[in-house]
A and B are shown apart, each in its own frame.
Chain A
Amino acid sequence: MELLANLGLGLSVALSLDNLLYALAGAMLGTAIGVLPGLGPVATISILLPVTFGLPPVSALIMLSGIYYGAQYGGSTTAILVNLPGESSSVVTALDGYAMARQGQAGKALAAAAIASFMAGTIATLVIAMFGPPLAAVALKFGPAEYFSLMVLGLVASIVLAHGSLLHAFGMILFGLLLGIVGTDVNSGAERYTFGQPWLADGVGFVTLAMGLYGVGEIVRNMEHDDRREPMLKKVTGLMPTWADIKRILAPTLRGTALGSLLGILPGGGATLASFSAYALEKKVANSQVPFGQGAIEGVAGPEAANNAGAQTSFIPMLTLGIPSNPVMALMIGALIIHGIQPGPSVMTEQPALFWGIIASMWVGNLFLVVLNLPLVGLWVRMVTVPYHLLYPAILVFCAIGVYSVNNSVWDIYLMAGFGLLGYVFAKLDCEPAPMLLGFILGPMMEEFLRRALLLSKGDPGVFVTRPISAALLTLAVVLLLLVLSPALARRRAEAFQEEQ
């Protein structure tokens, strides 16, 4: 029972007093900031990243993961209470969750979301523990050609799963790849796109980019429609669900978990697509007493389970392959690199305590969220109402100090302001920045693997199709592209995202 031994090792790491505290602090901070208006998980994690620099790697990752699901949880709370989803994956939660809150069932909706998330988190943790090791074992056999093809597949999948226009998602990925190339070329030592500026020699920092796009850019965008957020209720009651409620959410939770676990592994906004598809699924199969959109508890439980499961399983490609499936995972990879750990299949064999500790802490963090957040909901309600004009100057201060502290460089502050402008332009043009962040992280890796693969094959590009695993991955990428370009599937894809409107 290797699995049990591994989970035991993980629990022994996650349950140490220090790490329990970091998981708790992460979950609380994440929820608190996730509840605040205009801050999604990416901005939250990049702002709090500098706080974790001084910690040991395991504790830092445990805290960051706690922040991640805390922020997601906070996003659902605001979706239910004030109809303002903190991020795209809780958009559908607002549909029925807010309807329930208007009928005085906010407590029940919050409890359903919390219980569904916890159950999904528990199951998804086991999924990671079961599928992580075999995947890492396969990945250890990968050569540069396989890695390159895998990244192509990953980028294609993230285009297919991104919402909005396929063409724009493709453009954003290419844009990101180019930004990732800025800096000194490792092979030749040539400085590329640095304009002779020494502060660009190490390239653009991912924290700088993420804070600029998601922190500073978001602020200007939010200020355009400076709406006041009035919660319709000051007190939330009825948080203890009845046995009948639990029975009603059980099936949607399990369906959502299955769907979410699967979609979370795929690159490109896994959690978002997971919650949208879970809502669509529940609409078809659940026989709810209340019509969907008017306060169906199934419409809260299913998507919440799916987005939490998806958030957890998106750790699988990050931990086993070193490839991010969404911008949050890109930040996690950045955090590991800052701590001197190169993410990839060898992490599991070389740092088993880190690998299993993170996995076990996911379950611990989810438990904290259920146990602590429901009683604290009164505090969250009050935080939801913090006026935005008091909040955004504080966010800017944290961004400015945070981005400086990564390299102790004032230039990073100016660069962040520049990316803030870019983020605002993207918002004006309806361009989703997530694919750009993926491209940004993958750019240097792809170039490196491409070079090595072609060097090993003596310049023969056939290496990508003659090696079986690489060929299979590329075939899959082509099939995926053809499918999405076919009219039938394009319609299905549009349907999956239509709830947004």
Chain B
Amino acid sequence: MAIRHPKDFFTGVMYAGVGAAALLLPRDYGFGTALRMGPAYFPGVVGGLLVLVGMIAMLRGCSARGDEITPFAWRELLRVLGGVVLFGLLLFAAGLIAAIVALVIVAALASRRFDWRWALPLALGLALFGALLFVQGLGVQMPLAGSWFGR
């Protein structure tokens, strides 16, 4: 059997995988009975249904015809997600200002129009704005300068 509808097929793979994980992970949670439902009862039923849906989608992916999945934009994806993760890593170590600057620069590198001439002012502007609005204005608990700066 050949995969003729890749979108359907791989959606099916995803559903079946998530469903199987939901079924297999909570082995020690206790399934229980309908009267005294254990913690694994409801997710077990839902996970089972999801495996079923996934298998139907995989079968359909082999019979119906459909478009190819367009290639992933890895460059953009990794820089955008990397910027967000870096923000989290830097928030307490370097503080909010540095974290925002890092997030904006790394994320901006994903753009084909990247140029320090707009990226740097944007990063500094957003850092100032974020610090004023969220920390001063809304009182969100975040250090402006982090532990690296001896705070």
Please indicate the chain B residues that have their CB under 8 angstroms from the CB of A404 in the complex.
88, 91, 140, 142
Q: Is the CB of B11 within 8 A of A174?
A: no
Given A167-B60, A389-B111, do A454 and B37 touch, yes or no (CB 8 Å)? yes
Interface residues of B in 19-55 (CB under 8 A from A): 19, 22, 25-26, 29-30, 33-40, 42-43, 46-47, 49-50, 53-54
Interface residues of A in 385-427 (CB under 8 A from B): 387, 389-390, 392-394, 396-397, 399-401, 404-405, 408, 410, 413-414, 416-417, 420-421, 424-425
B104 at the interface (CB under 8 A from A): yes
Interchain CA distance A252-B123 in the complex, whole Å: 48
Please indicate the chain B residues that have their CB under 8 angstroms from the CB of A396 in the complex.
80, 83-84, 87, 103-104, 107
Tell me which of A224, A413, A446 contacts B73 (CB under 8 A).
Answer: A224
A476 at the interface (CB under 8 A from B): no
Closest to B73 in A: A224
Interface pick from A104-112, A288-296, A455-463: A455-463
A382 at the interface (CB under 8 A from B): no
Tell me which of B35, B53, B76, B118 contacts A174 (CB under 8 A).
Answer: B53
Interchain CA distance A378-B145 in the complex, whole Å: 40
Given A177-B46, A421-B81, do A171 and B15 touch, yes or no (CB 8 Å)? yes
Interface residues of A in 261-300 (CB under 8 A from B): none
Interchain CA distance A368-B127 in the complex, whole Å: 32
Interface residues of A in 444-473 (CB under 8 A from B): 446-447, 450-451, 454-455, 458-459, 461
Tell me which of A54, A165, A174 contacts B138 (CB under 8 A).
Answer: A54
Given A401-B140, A431-B11, do A458 and B35 touch, yes or no (CB 8 Å)? yes
Given A167-B53, A174-B53, A193-B26, do A413 and B80 touch, yes or no (CB 8 Å)? no
Q: Is the CB of A450 within 8 A of B107?
A: no
Q: Is the CB of B91 within 8 A of A394?
A: no
Please indicate the chain A residues that have their CB under 8 angstroms from the CB of B8 in the complex.
165, 168
Closest to B82 in A: A417
Given A216-B84, A223-B111, A410-B92, do A174 and B50 touch, yes or no (CB 8 Å)? yes
Q: Is the CB of B57 within 8 A of A167?
A: yes
Q: Is the CB of B108 within 8 A of A226?
A: no
Please indicate the chain A residues that have their CB under 8 angstroms from the CB of B103 in the complex.
393, 396-397, 400
Interchain CA distance A389-B35 in the complex, whole Å: 56
Number of A residues contacting the other chain (C-beta, 8 Å)?
A: 63
Closest to B140 in A: A405
Report the minimum CB–CB distance from B87 to chain A (whole Å).
5
A190 at the interface (CB under 8 A from B): yes
Q: Is the CB of A455 within 8 A of B70?
A: no
Interchain CA distance A51-B133 in the complex, whole Å: 10
Q: Is the CB of A171 within 8 A of B53?
A: yes
Please indicate the chain B residues that have their CB under 8 angstroms from the CB of A1 in the complex.
none
Q: Is the CB of A428 within 8 A of B70?
A: yes
Report the minimum CB–CB distance from B9 to chain A (whole Å).
10
Please indicate the chain A residues that have their CB under 8 angstroms from the CB of B35 in the complex.
454-455, 458-459
Given A171-B15, A223-B73, A226-B111, do A192 and B43 touch, yes or no (CB 8 Å)? yes
Report the minimum CB–CB distance from A216 to chain B (whole Å).
6
Interchain CA distance A401-B135 in the complex, whole Å: 10
Q: For chain B, which range describes its interface: under 10, 10 to 19, 20 to 34, or 35 or more residues? A: 35 or more
Please indicate the chain A residues that have their CB under 8 angstroms from the CB of B50 in the complex.
171, 174-175, 178
Please indicate the chain A residues that have their CB under 8 angstroms from the CB of B37 in the complex.
187, 450-451, 454
Interchain CA distance A459-B100 in the complex, whole Å: 54
Given A226-B111, A393-B107, A455-B35, do A420 and B60 touch, yes or no (CB 8 Å)? no
Given A175-B15, A190-B39, A413-B87, do A389 and B80 touch, yes or no (CB 8 Å)? no
Tell me which of A177, A394, A410, A430 contacts B88 (CB under 8 A).
Answer: A410
**Binary interface profile of B, 74-94, with partner A (CB < 8 Å = 1, else 0)?**
001100110111011001100
Interchain CA distance A400-B127 in the complex, whole Å: 12
Given A397-B126, A461-B34, do A417 and B85 touch, yes or no (CB 8 Å)? yes
Tell me which of A168, A171, A393, A399 contacts B123 (CB under 8 A).
Answer: A393
Q: Is the CB of A430 within 8 A of B7?
A: yes
Q: Is the CB of A219 within 8 A of B80?
A: yes
Interchain CA distance A446-B43 in the complex, whole Å: 11
A220 at the interface (CB under 8 A from B): yes
Report the minimum CB–CB distance from B116 to chain A (whole Å).
13
B72 at the interface (CB under 8 A from A): yes
B110 at the interface (CB under 8 A from A): yes
Report the minimum CB–CB distance from A159 to chain B (whole Å).
11
Please indicate the chain B residues that have their CB under 8 angstroms from the CB of A420 in the complex.
80-81, 84
**Binary interface profile of A, 187-224, with partner B (CB < 8 Å = 1, else 0)?**
11010110000000000000000000000100110011
Q: Is the CB of B80 within 8 A of A220?
A: yes
Q: Is the CB of B80 within 8 A of A181?
A: no
Interchain CA distance A455-B38 in the complex, whole Å: 12
**Binary interface profile of B, 96-134, with partner A (CB < 8 Å = 1, else 0)?**
100010011001101111100011001100100010001
Q: Is the CB of B39 within 8 A of A168?
A: no
Closest to B115 in A: A389
Q: Is the CB of B108 within 8 A of A174?
A: no
Which 5 A-B residue pairs are closest in the complex by CB-CB distance?
A459-B35, A413-B88, A389-B111, A190-B39, A447-B42
Q: List 15 A-B contacts (CB under 8 A).
A: A54-B138, A170-B53, A171-B50, A185-B39, A188-B29, A188-B30, A188-B39, A219-B80, A396-B83, A396-B84, A397-B100, A397-B104, A417-B81, A431-B11, A454-B34
Q: A167-B60, A393-B122, A397-B126 are in contact. List 7 more A-B contacts (CB 8 A).
A: A51-B138, A54-B139, A185-B29, A226-B111, A393-B123, A429-B11, A430-B11
